[in-house]
Structure formats: structure tokens, C-alpha cells
Structure 1
């Protein structure tokens, strides 16, 4: 089994996202300053910031890739707990980015995550994950 460890930078990503949405609110205010749409824009921006900061359900710490070819399920380490039987339903691989949409068999838990090579502790781990996804699809 190959352990792919992720950096724990989710909090900083949420803060950067909240900051960018906050800056976007100024653009909405400038563009719609004489309209009622400004209130709808501010409401949507506040809801977006609220859900981005509050919605920390899980922290993906590592991905374990099995060595056996007949085993097509991944093991994720979420909040320190090892959870297995994750099946990749959809994936997108673009240069150094990987999008995963995985469903856990039996519980129907879902994970949607974009991973960049900078999210991994070893930068070549993104290649191992992409290789596993591409060559182990059935």
C-alpha cells in the first residue's frame, strides 16, 4: 500500500476564499450601487462566506492506494480515522491538478475535492494518484 499524505492547509484556503469573495462584494457594490440588486448580491456573498467558513465537515489527511490490482477501492484518512471502500465515480486530470468525486460503498458518503501537487507532502504523489486513477479504471 502506498500512503499519499496531504498538507493541512484547508483553513488557509477557506480564509483566502472568504477574502476573495469579500473583495468581490466591492465590485458588486460599485456596479449595482443604484439598484435593488445590490442587496441580493450582498446576501448571496454573505451566505457564500458563511458556508465556506462553517462547512469544515472533514479534513482529508491522506489517501492510501492499494497494491493489489483486483482491489479497486481507495482508503482515505479523514480527521485521523481510516475509512475504506471509497470508489472513484468521476475524475478529471489536468496537468498538476486532480479532481476526485468518490463515494464510500455502504454509507453513500461523498467527497468532492480538487488536489494540486502543492497539496501533497511529496510532490510526486500526485503522479502516483493520477497513475492509479488512469490505469485502474474498470
Structure 2
């Protein structure tokens, strides 16, 4: 199943012949299909390139490899969403919030990477959320 098969599927009117060929290959060969595809392309098959896990890892990689000053004050839209989601998680789980604070993760000045800076900001937001919701100090 190579270029000729994809061309045949295209002639038969498939909307996305490459995707269809890949689907047929997975159905026909199962787990071995990834190894066959890697062997055919001369590279490695590193697993799925999409999905929530891959997107999250891409975000973390991008944040850690951003270069420049990790402690810059402005946050991108993506970073703001990430911090808000993390803050909400911490705000709804007081034990994890206490654990993060006791380990010193709430001190932005001690952060060594952009991810740690964002975690510290999320902890501060979570504290403020709990203060507003439950009147905690």
C-alpha cells in the first residue's frame, strides 16, 4: 500500500485518499502497521501526532524552549488559559494547593523555568479564587 494505492483511491473518488489508505492499513495490519509505515518512510513511528496529550506536551515544550527571560510579566493567550485552568484545579482541591505552597512552588522568584513561573502564578490565582469563593485568608 503505497503511492499507487493512494492514487487508486483518489481515482475512485476518495475525499482524503491518504487518510483512507492509512485507515485501511491499520485495519489490515493492526499494530504492525506503524512499524511498516516507519520502515517504508525510513524513519521512526513515534506514535500519534495529535490528541490532547500531544497538544499539552507541545504547549509545555513551547513554554520551556521559548528563550529569553522566563520571568517576563506578560503572558500569551495560551499561557493565560493554562494558568486559569491550573488555578481552577488548585482552587477546587485545597490539599493539592497546600502541598504546592508547602513545597515552595508559589514563589515566582525561585522559579527556574517558564513552566515554574506559570505554576507560581496559577497558585496565586487559586489562592485569590478561594479567598473570593470561601472567604479564606
The answer, yes or no, to whether TM exceeds 0.5 is no
Q: TM-score, normalized by length of structure 2? A: 0.21
Q: Which has the higher helix share?
A: 2
The answer to which structure, 1 or 2, has the higher relative contact order (CA under 8 A, 6+ apart) is 1
Higher strand share: 1
